[in-house]
Homo-oligomer: A and B are copies of this chain.
Amino acid sequence: MRGVIMRAPGDIRVENRDEPTILEPTDAIIRLVATCVCGSDLWPYRGAEPADHLAMGHEYVGIVEEIGDQVKTLTVGDFVVGSFVISDNTCEICQAGYQSRCVHAEFVHGTIGTQAERARIPLADGTLVATPGQPDADLIPSLLAASDVLGTGWFAAVAAEAGPGKTVAVVGDGAVGLLAVLAARQLGAERIIAMSRHESRQALAREFGATDIVEQRGDEGVARIKELTGGLGAHSVIEAVGTQESMMQAIRATRPGGHVGYVGVSHDVQLPGDELFFSGVHLHGGPAPVRQYLPELIDLIWRRKINPGKVFDLTLPLDRAADGYRAMDQRRAIKVLLQP
């Protein structure tokens, strides 16, 4: 089968990979219907993480083609959405809602790789959620978004305690940041400030529910958020970048006692203990437990209450994956959908 391999930073190839097969009785083999390129794929692409023949792709929707003997909740032919982390969904950590840190957690990125025609999904009962039926074609991008980028934005909004009466600021206008705006709106936030200087992303942020746009960054961005919040800072700030600047911007834009939800994969970040201490904020984040939210997100998408698939502004055949990476790296595309 064909699949995307990152041989080295910046070197994206679509190569012949071995057909996946059932290795464990809890596995399922799925045929990918849609997959995509993640903002986090750009870290190794740009050399900020090592990359030596990585099997790329961790966002996916597909059709179950084969199941192991112990798979109970899925049937061949089911349309499924999965999380970017394999989880049993039964251990104590999963049951507490942290499936991305399941005691049997395994990242799909790197070894499984869903930028491919097929994939073996371990712990299929825990990891995959079947949709109520075969989806209409127009729902597929949104279901794909649920797999990571929407689930991650949703977790960020939950971690930041976005909700009624709250002012929420979002640092980062990538797909996760934009979908965090959507999540904050769904969670009932009163005011949602998107921090973005890109016109097309500002427009999508507004469509998803942003009430204000702040173009300034860093200390100026913080000052602007304070201006908009009576000098206090936002109740909830979502960080969806992962750099020192974005983390400090998020912490400083949050009022004392407020909540920072951070989901940008942290790179070269050192948080100064004294500043964090005196800030009085709550900090929570990490790899999103997408699995927790999948049933709810699938339901919202199925009933056409939300349309997160709008973040895909470029669709390419799998064979042109390298073009997709380039477009995202150069910020010509918000998010690239790949069709296997």
Residues of B within 8 A of A98 (CB): 256-257, 280
**B269-A96 in contact (CB<8A):** no
Residues of B within 8 A of A265 (CB): 277
| From B97, B101, B267, B276, contact of A266 by CB (8 A) | B276
**A270-B271 in contact (CB<8A):** yes
**A96-B268 in contact (CB<8A):** no
Task: Find residues 53-110 in chain A having any chain B CB closer than 8 Å to their own CB.
Answer: 92-93, 96-98, 100-101, 103
Contact flags A251-273 to B (C-beta < 8 A → 1, else 0)? 00001110000100111111111
**Interface 9-residue window, one of A24-32, A143-151, A283-291, A310-318:** A283-291
A162 to chain B, nearest CB (A): 16
Q: Once bound together, how far apart are the Cα atoms of A289 and B278, in whole Å?
A: 12
**A266-B257 in contact (CB<8A):** no
A48 to chain B, nearest CB (A): 11
Tell me, yes or no, whether A247 is within 8 Å of chain B by CB.
yes
Task: Find residues 127-159 in chain A having any chain B CB closer than 8 Å to their own CB.
Answer: none
**A284-B283 in contact (CB<8A):** yes
A272's closest neighbor in chain B, by CB? B270
Enumerate 12 A-B pairs (CB-CB under 8 Å) in ascending A order.
A98-B256, A100-B280, A242-B277, A244-B273, A262-B277, A269-B272, A269-B273, A277-B286, A278-B286, A280-B286, A280-B287, A281-B284
| From B97, B101, B267, contact of A273 by CB (8 A) | B267
Which residues of A are at the interface with B, using a C-beta cutoff of 8 A?
92-93, 96-98, 100-101, 103, 230-232, 242, 244, 247, 255-257, 262, 265-274, 276-287, 289
Residues of B within 8 A of A278 (CB): 286-287
A302 to chain B, nearest CB (A): 28
Q: Once bound together, how far apart are the Cα atoms of A279 and B244, in whole Å?
A: 18
**B271-A276 in contact (CB<8A):** yes
**A interface SS class:** mixed
Residues of B within 8 A of A230 (CB): 92
A38 to chain B, nearest CB (A): 16
Q: Once bound together, how far apart are the Cα atoms of A100 and B277, in whole Å?
A: 12
**B286-A97 in contact (CB<8A):** no
A84 to chain B, nearest CB (A): 14
Residues of B within 8 A of A257 (CB): 93, 96-98, 101, 289
Further 5 A-B residue pairs, CB within 8 A, beyond A97-B257, A269-B273, A271-B276: A93-B232, A101-B280, A265-B277, A270-B271, A271-B271
Residues of B within 8 A of A247 (CB): 273
A172 to chain B, nearest CB (A): 14
Residues of B within 8 A of A256 (CB): 93, 98, 100-101, 286
Residues of B within 8 A of A285 (CB): 277
Q: Once bound together, how far apart are the Cα atoms of A286 and B274, in whole Å?
A: 9
Q: Once bound together, how far apart are the Cα atoms of A204 and B262, in whole Å?
A: 39
**A232-B277 in contact (CB<8A):** no
Q: Once bound together, how far apart are the Cα atoms of A267 and B278, in whole Å?
A: 12
Q: Once bound together, how far apart are the Cα atoms of A270 and B276, in whole Å?
A: 10
